[in-house]
Amino acid sequence: MKCCCCCCTVVDVCVFVRRQRRVGIDLVHDYPEKELLKEVEVYQGVLALLYRTKAQMDEQMRSHSSMFTQAAVCLCSVLGESRL
């Protein structure tokens, strides 16, 4: 996920540097700038999706861990053992 952040930073710098060099009538949004901004939008969307997926995986791991613990306790009580 750090790679996506780095890519967004690089693209942001490219857009910023390009705009700083422009004056007057050159301060238009040209094709390369529009494409760079689209690229940033795509990377941000991918990064958001990765964070959501990671959060869902973490929740699923917690859920499975909890279910495993409950099943082990239940099994121990059936077998008459006092430990897991």
One pLDDT digit (tens) per residue for the chain, 84 residues? 555 556 667 777 777 776 677 777 777 778 888 888 888 888 889 889 999 999 999 998 888 887 788 777 887 777 776 554
Taking the C-alpha atoms of residue 41 and residue 29, their distance in angstroms, rounded to an integer, is 16
Radius of gyration, alpha carbons of the chain: 25
Q: Bin 22: left if φ > 0, else alpha if -120 < ψ < 50, else beta.
A: beta
What pLDDT is attached to residue 6? Answer: 63
pLDDT value for 53: 95
pLDDT, position 7: 62
The gap from C-alpha 63 to its chain's centroid, in whole angstroms, comes to 21
Q: Supply the pTM of this predicted model.
A: 0.58
- Give the pLDDT of residue 43: 84
